[in-house]
């Protein structure tokens, strides 16, 4: 594409006034749009999709359709809340992947169409990098930012990674799950217990009422900094299966009547095991690399036990820890906007014919 000449002249023109970045995030089931003006977050609007609840998981086809319905009002609201008009926009950042392809196509196409109509450049953002860069959002709450290099534990429904962050655009995955992600383990175990989707927040809630030592689940023995959660999931399942057999009942509800606090204790034990697995590898990575700035990001970083573990490890091992505000843990456009702002300053624009992709590394 002949983008460079056009983009350079456009860039010079834009630099004369305020830098206004509009971002669009549509990688899964949240439609989100945010605006950053001269480095400060001015709005972050999220429309969640309730349509998936009855199916116990995200239905890709329904997600794409809901994005189509949501995207215009969400972008419109983000601009209004930020106090800017579409004519003020300097560039449009969008999530290019990884994610559900149909969902990504809605955000990408919208970003391209709007950018073409406004004659502004587009900036593609890796969703996972966005999660990490959420730690740099200036939202007026005095959020502390890590300095490079730092380690980031990136834990979501689809990823469990330890990322060595060397610069805003230089990240290396030094460890990752070889099977399920931590969030996936929470969601699948929650489903077995008959809890709604997504199960992570339910596990967190019930765990507060349970005994974390009641059920000792299996922990993986994997080399290096990699993770595995499939064995834990099986151990959880087998524990329940054995309890059902031992009490001569067939359903979890029947079992819960025989064992007081069953769900609470199972949730607390599962959560403690997941947190322990995550933190032990992170501790090893921090020690081996001699890094003491440690951050957490992604949907699972909303988990209260994981957040507490960060505080405890921070005190014990003299880490400076960075825990995102809840609003930046799950999918949001503020983080995409921040990543887009960095790329804008680095003049890293994207050609109009670039396509989204479902799977990418960081």
**Chain residues that interact with ligand KG4, rule: CB under 6 A:** 28, 156-158, 183, 186-187, 198-201, 203-204, 298-300, 302-303, 330-331
**Least distance (Å) from ligand KG4 to the CB of residue 31?**
13
Residue nearest to ligand KG4 as judged by C-beta position: 299
Q: Are 45 and 74 in contact (CB under 8 A)?
A: yes
Q: Which is nearer to ligand KG4, 28 or 114 (CB)?
A: 28
Q: Are 271 and 131 in contact (CB under 8 A)?
A: no
Q: Are 187 and 58 in contact (CB under 8 A)?
A: no
β-strands 293-297, 30-37: how paired?
Answer: unpaired
Q: Are 19 and 341 in contact (CB under 8 A)?
A: yes
Q: Which of 75, 173, 175, 180 has the alpha carbon at shortest distance from 132? A: 173
Q: Which is nearer to ligand KG4, 26 or 235 (CB)?
A: 26
**Least distance (Å) from ligand KG4 to the CB of residue 221?**
24
Q: Which is nearer to ligand KG4, 114 or 195 (CB)?
A: 195
Q: Which is nearer to ligand KG4, 191 or 219 (CB)?
A: 191
**Least distance (Å) from ligand KG4 to the CB of residue 200?**
2
Q: Which is nearer to ligand KG4, 58 or 289 (CB)?
A: 58
**Least distance (Å) from ligand KG4 to the CB of residue 229?**
11
**Least distance (Å) from ligand KG4 to the CB of residue 213?**
19
| Residue 41, beta-bridge partner list | 36
> ω before 149 within 30° of 0 (cis)?
yes
**Least distance (Å) from ligand KG4 to the CB of residue 305?**
8
Angle between helices 262-289 and 230-246 (to 10 degrees): 160
> ω before 119 within 30° of 0 (cis)?
no
Q: Which is nearer to ligand KG4, 102 or 299 (CB)?
A: 299
Q: Which is nearer to ligand KG4, 204 or 265 (CB)?
A: 204
**Least distance (Å) from ligand KG4 to the CB of residue 25?**
10
* Residue-wise burial string across 173-190, b where 16 or more C-beta atoms lie within 10 A, e elsewhere: bbbbbebbbbbbbbbbbb
Q: Which is nearer to ligand KG4, 78 or 297 (CB)?
A: 297
**Least distance (Å) from ligand KG4 to the CB of residue 133?**
14
Q: Are 334 and 134 in contact (CB under 8 A)?
A: yes
Q: Which long-range contacts (CB under 8 A, 24 or more apart) does 237-243 make?
A: 237/189, 237/192, 239/215, 239/266, 240/192, 240/193, 240/266
What SS3 class is residue 341? Answer: helix
């Amino acid at each position: 594409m002949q983008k460079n000449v056009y983009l350079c002249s456009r860039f010079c023109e834009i630099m004369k006034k305020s830098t206004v970045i509009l971002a669009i995030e549509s990688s899964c089931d949240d439609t989100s749009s945010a605006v950053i003006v001269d480095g400060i977050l001015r709005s972050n609007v999220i429309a969640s999709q309730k349509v998936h609840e009855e199916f116990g998981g995200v239905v890709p086809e329904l997600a794409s359709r809901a994005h189509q319905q949501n995207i215009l009002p969400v972008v419109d609201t983000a601009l209004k809340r930020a106090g800017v008009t579409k004519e003020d926009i300097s560039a449009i950042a969008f999530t290019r992947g990884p994610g559900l392809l149909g969902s990504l196509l809605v955000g990408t196409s919208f970003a391209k169409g709007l950018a073409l109509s406004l004659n502004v450049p587009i900036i593609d953002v890796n969703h996972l990098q966005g999660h990490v860069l959420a730690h740099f959002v200036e939202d007026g709450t005095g959020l502390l930012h890590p300095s490079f290099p730092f380690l980031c534990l990136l834990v979501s429904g689809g990823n469990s990674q330890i990322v060595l962050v060397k610069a805003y655009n230089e990240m290396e995955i030094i460890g990752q799950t070889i099977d399920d992600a931590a969030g996936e383990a929470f969601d699948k175990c929650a489903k077995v217990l008959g809890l709604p989707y997504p199960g992570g927040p339910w596990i967190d809630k019930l765990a507060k009422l349970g005994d974390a030592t009641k059920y000792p689940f299996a922990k993986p023995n994997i080399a290096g900094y990699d993770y595995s959660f499939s064995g834990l999931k099986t151990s959880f399942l087998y524990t329940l299966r054995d309890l059902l057999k031992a009490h001569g009942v067939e359903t979890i509800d029947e079992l819960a009547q025989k064992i007081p606090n069953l769900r609470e204790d199972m949730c607390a034990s599962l959560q403690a095991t997941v947190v322990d697995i995550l933190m032990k590898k992170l501790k090893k990575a921090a020690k081996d690399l001699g890094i003491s700035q440690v951050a957490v990001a992604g949907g699972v970083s909303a988990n209260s036990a994981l957040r507490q573990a960060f505080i405890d490890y921070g005190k014990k091992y003299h880490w400076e820890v960075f825990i995102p505000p809840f609003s930046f843990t799950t999918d949001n456009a503020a983080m995409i906007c921040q990543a887009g702002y960095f790329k804008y300053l680095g003049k890293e624009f994207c050609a109009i014919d670039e396509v989204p992709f479902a799977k990418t590394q960081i």
